[in-house]
A and B are shown apart, each in its own frame.
Chain A
Amino acid sequence: MLGNEAIARAAAESGVKVVAGYPGTPSTEIVDLCGSYPGVYAEWSANEKHAFEVATAASLTNQRSMAVMKHNGTNAAADFLMHVCFTGIRAGMVLISADDPGGLSSQCEEDTRILIHKYAHLPVFDPSSVQEAYAMTKAAFELSEQTELVFALRPVMRINHAGSLVEYGEVLPSNRKVEFVIDRSRFVMSAVVEKESGGELRPKMRHRWLNAKQKELKALMEASPFNWLEDAPGETGFIGCGIGYAFIKEAQQILGRKLPILKLSTLPLAEEKVLAFVRGRKRVVVFEEIEPVVATLIKALCFEHKISLEVLGRDTYLPQEGELSTNFVLTAIEAASAGKPYPVAAKSEYVPARTRTQCSGCSHRGLLIAMKEVVRKNGGVVTGDIGCHDAGTFDPIKLQATIYCMGSSIPMAYGIKKAGFDKPVYALIGDSTFFHNGLTGLASAISNNGDVIVVVAYNSTTAMTGFQPHPGSSNNLSQPTTPIDPGTVAAAMGAKVFRCNPYNVEETIEVLVAATAATGVRVVVAEALCYLRFSREGKISFVPKNISIDREVCNGCGLCVRTFGCPAITLVDGKANIESSGCNGCGVCVFVCKQGAIK
């Protein structure tokens, strides 16, 4: 069972009724899998904040719920997080906030324990194995209901995507009463005076409530089965948090000797366990993904208890960035036990990288090439966004000049113009991202008389994460829905809307040129189905052609390879060659060849 399957299973066994999320590696599969259990309502919300809100509303209606997202999504949901922590919830509710140490499949690497625990003061479980992710999810539902607080599970990529044997239980029907009890003193977060508490403002009262909860949480974590001590003599102790514990245990297997280990997989910290472990030791090494959250808490604890201890964590000793590994832990064990610094890693030899690109037959490639052609002539700038089209920023196309987070392309594009930039500025955004957090940016552009060309790559799916539907799709999980057309929305908001099929590069260039010549906020909807997703159903947005290269006409200039990057085209013996098994016949490459050799 994969980590994500184990989490979904545990939620179903815990009687979860409503699951909401937004796709993001490594947590994506959980939502789909939850939806496969009878009686569970699962949805793809437009963004993570809305998923969190939907799940919380279900909890307030006395139904167990779960919100599922990756770390970037937890950022998007942070505003709501900083309110739900003060109100608390009713039925058990779990937040899955998956982190991606090393940024293997993300725009950034970050540790959401900081947002959830240090910022919102909510409890976090950090699983060390797939089996533990299952057990923690079940415990989180129970404890959430008991404490009236959202419990978070923070799995990392290597838990979500690991497969292992899992012992699991029964999914029993849940017959909880559907009941929404109005309690404004809790669920209305506002600066109102609370008469009962002597005229205090509600935000301060709720803050006090949350602070008082910390004592209860600490006691729970002290008794938690997820923290334990494996004692052994030694002046250097090793603390493993989440998957850090797994790497210590493997290092111990390889070394063939018993190490003093403390496993800490919960926040708040099990302080008594820490104190029992550190007393009499000279130093501890703390292995945790990604930031020194636990290491910093241990330092503060030792300071309070006047314990002198070297705490070697990711801020003081270990590499501060990237993923942990068994090798990393082995190196640290050896160095720390000898009282030496962590050795500087030798530079490894460079093996030619395999960069990501658009699939053969992808509609984005036509759009990227058309935009490149227009921008090359007018000196414009393109701000980028999240999605498959982001590969357009790499070699060979190198189009987008910025990529930050979901929806940033539009405000950044009109911001460049507001700063006085005198060439055209384009925002390139996918459809799922447009609905996630692009609409408000578009409203901001329009209401500020922005001067921008927004290009929406409308391929009807969230392709990057494995083809999840979004508000522009004609379904949501298993239910059919009415797709929202980005162009209709943009027109209603007051933008000038243009349309093109990106497989037709000439037409797309004409439309882009016309949009560039217009003024104000222009939205170009480049509409064509995702080839990889929809060709399986026989639906494609081009007429397939038998593409071949006329080797007599090809002069070997290599433009098709250097500027285009379709995986099906290579140079063989100095001339272009199309691998027929890799070509899907979209024909976009015909435009690229200036010699007319691609037919």
Chain B
Amino acid sequence: MKFDLVIAGVGGQGNILASQVIAKCAMDAGYNIVNTETKGAAQRGGSVLSHVRVSTDEIFSPLVPAGQADVLLGFEPLEALRFIGLLNKNGRFIINTAPIRTILSNMNVDEYPTTQQMVENIKSRGLQGYFLDATQAAKELGNILLTNVIMLGAFTEISDLLPGDVILQKLLSQVEEKFHADDTKAFEAGRKLIQSKMK
């Protein structure tokens, strides 16, 4: 068994926490794991990509090769598009459609694609997955910082790798107690968003 996950997002979105929660759960479940991040300038609004590799065999490289990821979580649509080539043909994605514009696109040096353009670009590749507005859902729960927890909850609905409740408990063990109620709500909201799209 091997399972490769990549999480693409923007610095500050909580990408690394989400990937570490999954990696720790996989480790507890007795799998081999290797994970890494590209985060050089992450806290300054840069692109962040986390790699989580889980296997019953030896894992040699920390990086998920192109066309090998089983799941891609896109916390931001442009970042999902940037790394969509990592997903394998049978892989699945969950992409948050709320854009975070780039500085260059704000300046009109680059053109930030419309959500529709990004969605169509990804759909045209014949890949399976879900688009959802996790940022909006987080705002409705009162805190935009819950976006990553919603995405994590959503992930547990499309992967049999680890039980959803185990991932939630691991997440809660990593954050301060005052956040537990909101995180639990956000996690469930993410699960429900996917369930409603599966119907």
Chain A residues with CB under 8 Å of chain B are 25, 104-105, 128-130, 158, 161-165, 243, 245-247, 249-250, 253-254, 325-327, 330, 351-359, 388, 391, 395-396, 532, 561-562, 565, 567, 570-571, 581
CB contact under 8 A between A357 and B111, given known A396-B103, A570-B101 = no
Contacting pair A355 B33 (CB below 8 A): no
Q: How far is the CA of A165 from the CA of B63 in the complex (A)?
A: 16
Given A354-B45, A354-B47; A561-B107 close (CB under 8 Å):
yes
Expressed in whole angstroms, the Cα–Cα distance for A562 and B107 within the complex equals 5
The number of residues on chain B lying at the interface, defined by a beta carbon within 8 Å of a beta carbon of chain A, is 46
Q: For the complex, is B136 an interface residue (Cβ under 8 Å from A)?
A: no
- Would you list 23 pairs from A and B whose C-beta atoms are within 8 A, ordered by A residue? A104-B38, A104-B40, A158-B61, A163-B36, A164-B35, A164-B59, A165-B32, A249-B60, A250-B60, A254-B65, A254-B68, A352-B104, A354-B10, A354-B103, A356-B44, A358-B44, A359-B45, A396-B103, A532-B43, A561-B107, A562-B106, A562-B108, A570-B101
Which residues in B have their C-beta under 8 angstroms from that of A330? Answer: 65
Q: Is the CB of B103 within 8 A of A351?
A: no
Residues of A within 8 A of B104 (CB): 352-353, 355, 395
- Note all chain B residues with C-beta closer than 8 A to A129: 60
Across the interface, which residues of B come within 8 angstroms of A581, CB to CB? 144
Whether the pair B110, A352 counts as a contact (CB closer than 8 A) is yes
Q: Which residue on chain A has the smallest CB distance to residue B10?
A: A354
- Whole-angstrom CA separation of A253 from B53 in the bound complex: 14
B27-59, CB under 8 A of A: which get 1 and which 0? 100001111111011011111000000000111
* B contact residues around A104 at 8 Å (CB): 38, 40
Instruction: State whether B61 touches A351 (Cβ < 8 A).
Output: no
CB distance from A429 to the nearest CB of B (A): 19
On chain B, the residues within 8 Å of A327 by CB distance are 65-67
Interface residues of B in 60-94 (CB under 8 A from A): 60-63, 65-68, 78-79, 81-82
Name which residue of chain A comes closest to B84, CB basis: A351
Nearest CB of chain A from residue B20's CB, rounded to whole Å: 8
List, in ascending order, chain B residues with CB within 8 A of A164's CB: 32-35, 59, 62
Task: Note all chain A residues with C-beta closer than 8 A to B195.
Answer: none
Contact B61 A246 (CB under 8 A): yes
Tell me the bound Cα distance from A490 to B111 in angstroms: 46
Query: Most chain-B Cβ atoms within 10 A of its Cβ — which of A249, A352, A353, A581?
Result: A352
CB closest chain-A residue, reference B83: A351
B63 contacts A158, C-beta separation under 8 Å: yes
Is B60 a contact of A355 with CB atoms below 8 Å? Answer: no
A532 proximity list for chain B (CB < 8 A): 43
Give the shortest distance, in Å, between B107 (CB) and chain A (any CB): 5
Residues of B within 8 A of A158 (CB): 36, 61-63
Task: Please give, as numbers and ranges, the residues of chain B lying within 8 Å of A567 by CB-CB distance.
Answer: 45, 103
- CB < 8 Å neighbour of B78 from A246, A351, A355: A351
List, in ascending order, chain A residues with CB within 8 A of B107's CB.
Answer: 395-396, 561-562, 565
The answer to whether B23 has its CB under 8 Å from any CB of chain A is: yes
List, in ascending order, chain A residues with CB within 8 A of B43's CB.
Answer: 359, 532
Pairwise interchain contact A161-B36, C-beta atoms closer than 8 A: yes
Closest to A129 in B: B60
Contact of B109 among A254, A351, A356, A395 (CB under 8 A): A395
Residues in A whose Cβ lies below 8 Å from that of B109: 395
Q: Which residues of B contact A359 (CB under 8 A)?
A: 43-45
Residues of A within 8 A of B46 (CB): 354-356
The answer to whether A325 and B65 have CB atoms under 8 Å apart is: yes
Cβ–Cβ contact A165 & B27, under 8 A: yes
**B12 shortest CB reach to chain A, Å:** 9
Q: Are A571 and B106 in contact (CB under 8 A)?
A: yes
Q: Does B131 contact A (CB under 8 A)?
A: no
Q: Which of A325, A356, A562, A571 contacts B45 (CB 8 A)?
A: A356
Give the residue name and chain of the B residue nearest to A394 (CB).
B103
* Closest CB pairs A-B (n = 3): A105-B40, A162-B62, A326-B65
Give chain A residues whose Cβ lies under 8 Å from the Cβ of B82.
351
Minimal Cβ-Cβ distance residue in B for A160? B36
Report Cα–Cα, A128/B59, bound state, in Å: 12
- Give the chain B neighbours of A326 by CB distance below 8 A: 61, 63, 65, 68
Contact B27 A357 (CB under 8 A): no
Shortest distance between the CB of B1 and any CB in chain A (Å): 13
Q: Is B112 an interface residue (CB 8 A)?
A: yes
Q: Assess the A561–B106 pair: CB atoms within 8 A.
A: yes
Is B106 within 8 A of A570, CB to CB?
A: yes
B10 touches A162 (CB 8 A): no
User: Within 8 Å of chain A (Cβ to Cβ): is B105?
Assistant: yes
User: Could you tell me the distance between the alpha carbons of A354 and B10 in the complex, rounded to whole angstroms?
Assistant: 9
CA distance A249 to B55 in the complex (A): 15
